[in-house]
Chains A and B, each alone.
Chain A
């Protein structure tokens, strides 16, 4: 793949994941505002998402979209304010993507498993 095509597809992936994230964040904010009434407890969280396939799917999409979205933004910041090269920023992007996926799915699958 040419660097021009790779760069353009990276940009497009950030935008497409942003469209998915916009929907996810609206749902997330709504849940937060409803759930925060009367305080949040671990029981409450587990009662909602534990064993629920729709919530499992929703949070899985959410985590994947973040993992695809955030590294490109971070790369832009590094590219513009530091002297890191193309190769180095790509390694950092990959590391951030994997970190979000691992930590995110650990929480999502863990919470799902508690309801089973």
Chain B
């Protein structure tokens, strides 16, 4: 693809924005379900057993990857903005991607 956007750091930006928005949209649902524990523990346990389904596990793995990607990507941005410049930008993007996938894999294997 030939555009000024097709380079590692731009794709890292896209992932950071998409993951950030997705996490923000997920957060109210997350808080709502946790609050169920207080008054409707049975409902929460029904919900938690629903999360044992393989497809839901896969979706959760996706969430773990998004969270890890937003965190590692955020550290990358902080390094750019607050530390001296280093010419290893593309390697850093690769490392953040690798760590995020590793976090997802770790979750998925333990959840199995």
Contact = CB atoms under 8 A, between A and B. Distances in A.
B28 A103 contact: yes
Given A33-B110, A77-B21, A114 B27 contact: no
B67 interface: yes
A42 B44 contact: yes
B20 A73 contact: yes
A22 interface: yes
B83 interface: no
A15 B77 CA distance: 9
A74 B37 contact: no
Nearest to B31: A103
Contact of A29 (B34, B68, B82): B68
A18 B21 contact: no
Given A66-B27, A74-B24, A77-B17, A111 B107 contact: no
The 9 closest A-B pairs by CB, nearest first: A110-B38, A107-B34, A103-B31, A25-B71, A42-B44, A107-B35, A36-B111, A107-B31, A42-B41
Contacts, number: 93
Given A74-B21, A74-B24, A99-B28, A18 B38 contact: no
Contacts of A111: 34, 37-38
A41 B48 contact: yes
18 contacts: A15-B81, A18-B74, A18-B78, A22-B71, A25-B68, A26-B71, A32-B107, A36-B107, A36-B111, A41-B45, A70-B23, A74-B24, A99-B28, A100-B27, A100-B31, A103-B27, A104-B31, A111-B38
Interface residues of B, number: 36
B15 interface: no
Contacts of B41: 42
A40 interface: yes
